[in-house]
């Protein structure tokens, strides 16, 4: 099932939620989540969180993982160890945006979020 986009490149101007992603064989595994921010305007921030669900309907009250708040274009990665959430069969991303200062008060971000399985062979090479 993976690698897969949790969110294809999308322009956002308000809080939102991405589509559900079925984990399949990666249920309970370890993922690398890559956030790409390709467009912004000044004086704004975005908060992204990753939510898990057993049935695709109940997403709980707390995210499984969060990215640190972002203000700039770039590519950012986190490792998401799902072993603490072995029942999670689905993932989805939620975001909140904020803008301050002069000009248009609506934030503007273009971003994507990509999920792939962490390859254990790469960990072994890095540790050597």
- CATH number of the domain within which 20 lies: 2.60.120.680
- State the average pLDDT over residues 35-51: 97
7: buried, middle or exposed (CB in 10 Å: 19+, 13-18, 0-12)?
Answer: buried
DSSP code per residue over 80-118? EEGGG-TT--EEEEEEEEEE-SSS--S--EEEEEEEEE-
**What is the number of structural domains in the chain?**
1
Q: Which domain holds residue 107?
A: 4-127
2 versus 45: the higher-pLDDT residue is: 45
Note the pTM of the prediction, 2 decimals.
0.89
**Weakest mean pLDDT among 21-25, 62-66, 96-100, 101-105:** 101-105
Kindly indicate the confidence band of residue 1, based on its pLDDT and cuts at 50, 70 and 90.
low
Query: Cβ(95)–Cβ(15) under 8 Å?
Result: yes
Separation CA 76–CA 67 (nearest Å): 8
- State the average pLDDT over residues 75-100: 97
- State the average pLDDT over residues 12-27: 96
Kindly indicate the confidence band of residue 102, based on its pLDDT and cuts at 50, 70 and 90.
confident
Check residue 23 and give its pLDDT: 95
User: Residue 77 is encoded by which pair of tokens?
Assistant: 């990665």
């Amino acid at each position: 099932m993976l690698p897969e986009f949790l969110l294809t490149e999308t322009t956002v101007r308000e809080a939102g939620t991405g589509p559900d992603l079925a984990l399949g064989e990666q249920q309970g595994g370890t993922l690398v989540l890559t956030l790409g921010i390709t467009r912004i305007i000044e004086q704004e921030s975005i908060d992204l969180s990753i939510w898990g669900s057993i049935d695709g309907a109940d997403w709980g009250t707390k995210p499984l993982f969060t990215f640190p708040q972002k203000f700039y274009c770039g590519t950012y990665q986190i490792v998401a160890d799902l072993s603490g959430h072995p029942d999670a069969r689905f993932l989805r991303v939620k975001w909140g945006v904020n803008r301050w200062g002069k000009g248009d008060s609506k934030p503007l971000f273009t971003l994507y979020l990509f999920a792939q399985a962490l390859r254990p062979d790469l960990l072994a090479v890095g540790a050597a």
